[in-house]
């Protein structure tokens, strides 16, 4: 009789990370499927899930994950603070493989295989695994709340005995998952919202949320086969900056979410444009971890230039860890379910999802990133 597959839930070492990779509800489902689950002590506490919540569904709580672990789950198993690793195991986590060569060294040393949650392919069957989208939705929502809390004026139209106060004008740059959720959030709060994206197909989604859509016709349609934005030429980048300038100056708040897979975030807001914005305006640059869309963004900080507040949040989903963990956990559970065949872990590389996400196999990088 073969031993049960054991899943280990890693406690995040990054002090700013409050999420947990698997929540008790999904652990319960894994155990019912015939797996064993081990929790590193306190791994879920910051997200609102206590050790006893896991124990109640049959989880073993350990001070340190045992060497019997087959699968390690994590939000970021390769954080700068460092983690301990179970040799010969499969790590399921988001990674920074494109920018951190040390990950390869760690995997070689410990003979690790890695499934990277940011490499989910853009196909219908993989949507239930899409951790980037599940977390980006929270990012957009939180960005909208930062605007509401930081502006020096009301968001909605207010009719008072002293007169009528006009709604805030909010500009959202980029209409991916985060951008669309930001639009939806500030629109629900009553803002006058404008959305921008270089992908013409995004216009319909922006309008469906009740916002105005603007686009630079010079750029034409700039969309890849995977529905992502294309990187622009220097000429087009300059045209884009000039086009956006007048809209940024008129805005009370700008939420910038634009990104290009595998590349630094495009610069859309110049310092000279910020200097022309209205005093009291707010910029929330959620692309800060990728270098930022704004020239003045500082990761993890709020800077003030000419009374303009510029936020560079480093990890907004971690600021709403309960729900962020629930949706991330479901992504992880769905992946583990895909890997299991007759209660055995099957690394089927003929499956295009597994083939795309298995970035390291037994310590060796297997795909170009």
So which residues are the catalytic ones?
Answer: 122, 127, 130, 133, 228
Q: Nearest-5° angle of CA 266, CA 267, CA 268?
A: 110
Tally DSSP H helices, then E strands, for the chain: 10, 19
206: burial class by Cβ within 10 Å (0-12, 13-18, 19+)? Answer: buried
Report residue 17 as tokens: 């990370």
Question: What letter does residue 3 receive in the DSSP assignment?
Answer: P
Residue with tokens 């979410």: 257
Q: How far is CA 165 from CA 190, 247, 252, in A?
A: 12, 21, 14
Distance CA 256, CA 273 (A): 14
Residue with tokens 């859309």: 268
Report residue 358 as tokens: 């298995």
Beta bridge partners of 6: 36
Three-state SS letters, 40-75: ECCCCHHHCCCHHHHHCCCCEEECCCCCCCCEEEEE
Report residue 202 as tokens: 């995004």
Q: How far is CA 182 from CA 136, 226, 266, in A?
A: 10, 22, 19
User: Taking the alpha carbons of 241, 247, 251, 257 in that order, is the dihedral positive or negative?
Assistant: negative
């Amino acid at each position: 009789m073969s031993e049960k597959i054991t899943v280990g839930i890693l406690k995040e070492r990054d002090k700013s990370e409050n999420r947990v990779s698997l929540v008790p509800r999904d652990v319960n489902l894994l155990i019912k499927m015939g797996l064993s689950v081990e929790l590193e002590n306190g791994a879920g506490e910051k997200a609102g899930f206590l050790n006893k919540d896991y124990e109640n569904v049959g989880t073993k709580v350990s001070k340190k994950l045992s060497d019997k672990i087959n699968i390690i789950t994590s939000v970021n198993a390769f954080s700068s603070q460092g983690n301990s690793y179970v040799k010969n195991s499969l790590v399921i986590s988001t990674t920074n493989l494109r920018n951190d060569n040390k990950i390869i060294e760690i995997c070689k040393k410990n003979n690790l295989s890695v499934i990277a949650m940011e490499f989910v392919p853009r196909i219908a069957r993989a949507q239930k695994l899409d951790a980037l989208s599940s977390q980006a939705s929270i990012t957009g929502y939180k960005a909208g709340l930062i605007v509401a809390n930081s502006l020096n004026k009301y968001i909605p139209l207010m009719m008072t005995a002293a007169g009528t106060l006009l709604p805030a004008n909010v500009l959202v740059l980029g209409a991916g998952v985060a951008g669309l959720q930001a639009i939806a959030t500030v629109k629900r709060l009553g803002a006058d919202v404008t959305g921008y994206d270089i992908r013409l197909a995004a216009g319909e989604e922006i309008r469906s949320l009740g916002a105005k859509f603007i686009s630079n016709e010079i750029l034409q349609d700039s969309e890849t086969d995977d529905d992502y934005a294309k990187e622009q030429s220097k000429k087009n980048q300059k045209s884009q900056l000039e086009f956006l300038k007048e809209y940024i100056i008129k805005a009370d708040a700008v939420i910038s979410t634009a990104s290009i897979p595998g590349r630094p975030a495009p610069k859309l807001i110049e310092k000279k444009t910020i200097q022309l914005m209205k005093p009291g305006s707010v910029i929330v640059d959620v692309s800060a971890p990728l270098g930022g869309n704004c020239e003045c963004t500082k990761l993890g900080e709020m800077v003030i230039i000419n009374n303009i507040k510029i936020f560079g949040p480093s990890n907004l989903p971690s600021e709403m860890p309960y729900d962020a963990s629930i949706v991330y956990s479901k992504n992880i559970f769905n992946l583990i379910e895909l890997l299991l065949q007759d209660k055995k872990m099957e690394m089927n590389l003929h499956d295009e999802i597994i083939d795309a996400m298995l970035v390291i196999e037994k310590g060796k990088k297997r795909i170009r990133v």
